[in-house]
Amino acid sequence: MSTLASHLNRRFGYSCQSWLATDIANRYFSRVYRVWFATAVNPRHNGPSSNPLLLYQELDHVVTTNDYNHSRVEQLRQRLSNWISGPSGPPLSASDLADIRAEIATAPVAAFRPQLWRIDLANIHISRLINLGQFPDEYLIRNLIKPEFEVIAE
């Protein structure tokens, strides 16, 4: 099998996810996750928005200080709303969409607490690599499932 590990020459990928995004995927998308990832936990040539370690540190600080005016919280709210409306998973009913949008809009800062994931690239076929990002070590998988990753920090 041609895997992401052989293609990218790395065994693992790393991603920072918010608890709210994971919870929504668990409840509405059958535990299928859309994740951007890097092949290093701290990729030096990526910008801060594509560095799992920096994202984790930033979100952890935002949540710890309850910084509800932080731009990252608004950005995550917007991205989550866009994601649930897009073609990422099974279509949602208008009622479910409205409920999730309301949940995202009113979620407390604590709902954005970070999780750092380690993705096992040796178990993912190369055909599932959807997009390369703007940085040298930034990749997208739209259909990651639980056996393919583990949460290594919360």
The confidence score (pLDDT) of residue 89 equals 57
List, as one string, the DSSP characters of 7-39.
HHT-SEEEEEEEHHHHHHHHHHSTTEEEEEEBS
The confidence score (pLDDT) of residue 44 equals 94
How many domains does the structure of the chain reveal? 1
Task: Label residue 66 left, alpha or beta by phi (over 0 means left) and psi (-120 to 50 means alpha).
Answer: left
The confidence score (pLDDT) of residue 132 equals 76
3-state secondary structure of 120: strand
Mean pLDDT computed over 60-89 = 91
Q: Show the domain range for 90.
A: 4-153
Query: Percent of the chain scored above 90 by pLDDT?
Result: 88
Single-letter code of the amino acid located at 90: P
